[in-house]
């Protein structure tokens, strides 16, 4: 078996390794594919659908689809940009996201994806759901208003921390993240040092008393667009 698999993304030849997903091979090659639920170190989940690409003419999630010899992947098309923009806009209006007041602003991946796609304001009507904030834990708070159901905290708590602090309950519009306790986050064995506390892409799971340690204007996506760290690899190769 060959140690290299060759395929294309937007007519650019990419080489990957057997067992890699499209997203993993693309990252190594310096080709950025948008994502929210995916996080390196966690098992791919494929829930947000933001990484959807056309693979040999069919829509597939890049974070879960293994690469194959001769595969043809389309990542940057008008159709996919519209799909991704619609997904981002729906996530904004289905929750309560007030970026100007959120301490995650500038480090928020949802916000950064919106900026990358040129979204200034969603075109859909806001739903303003009635959601709760659980600040009972001495070091961590959960703001369900901002949760996008990416399951990062669930997977990190289960697979990295070995605790299973978080889990989904409910279905459809009533689906939400719940804690493994009778009522409050304070009643779980979550510790501020757990990996689960640092993986949230938005401001739904926050560590207390550190929100403005890095001033607004100096945060990750204040400096450069999301995905720039990956795209810089391709720029280095091209020099």
87-107 pLDDT per residue, tens = 999 999 999 999 999 999 999
Domains of the chain (ranges; CATH) run 5-76 (3.10.20.740), 83-214 (3.30.70.20)
User: How confident is the model over 161-204, as pLDDT tens digits?
Assistant: 999 999 999 999 899 999 999 889 999 999 999 999 999 999 99
- The residues near 104 (Cβ < 8 Å, ≥ 6 apart) are 111, 146, 202, 203, 206, 211
The candidate with the shortest Cα–Cα distance to 157, out of 135, 176, 139, 180, is: 180
Band of residue 238 on the pLDDT scale cut at 50, 70, 90 = low
| DSSP summary character for residue 73 | E
The candidate with the shortest Cα–Cα distance to 17, out of 3, 33, 7, 32, is: 3
Q: How far apart are CA 15 and CA 87, in angstroms?
A: 29
pTM: 0.95
């Amino acid at each position: 078996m060959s140690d290299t698999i060759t395929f294309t993304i937007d007519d650019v030849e990419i080489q990957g390794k057997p067992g890699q997903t499209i997203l993993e091979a693309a990252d190594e090659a310096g080709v950025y594919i948008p994502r929210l639920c995916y996080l390196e170190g966690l098992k791919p989940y494929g829930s947000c659908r933001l990484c959807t690409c056309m693979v040999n003419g069919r829509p597939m999630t890049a974070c879960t689809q293994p690469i194959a010899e001769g595969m043809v992947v389309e990542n940057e098309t008008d159709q996919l940009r519209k799909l991704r923009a619609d997904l981002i806009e729906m996530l904004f209006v289905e929750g309560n996201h007030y970026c100007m007041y959120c301490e995650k602003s500038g480090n928020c991946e949802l916000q950064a994806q919106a900026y990358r796609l040129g979204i200034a304001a969603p075109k859909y009507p806001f739903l303003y759901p009635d959601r709760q904030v659980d600040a009972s834990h001495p070091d961590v708070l959960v703001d369900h208003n901002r949760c996008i159901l990416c399951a990062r905290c669930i997977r990190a708590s289960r697979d990295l921390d070995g605790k299973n602090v978080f889990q989904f309950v409910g279905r459809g519009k009533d689906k939400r993240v719940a804690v493994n306790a009778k009522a409050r986050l304070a009643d779980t064995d979550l510790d501020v040092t757990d990996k689960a506390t640092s993986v949230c892409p938005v401001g739904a799971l926050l560590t207390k008393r550190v929100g403005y340690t890095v001033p607004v204007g100096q945060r990750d996506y204040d400096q450069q667009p999301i995905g720039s760290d990956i795209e810089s690899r391709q720029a280095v190769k091209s020099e």
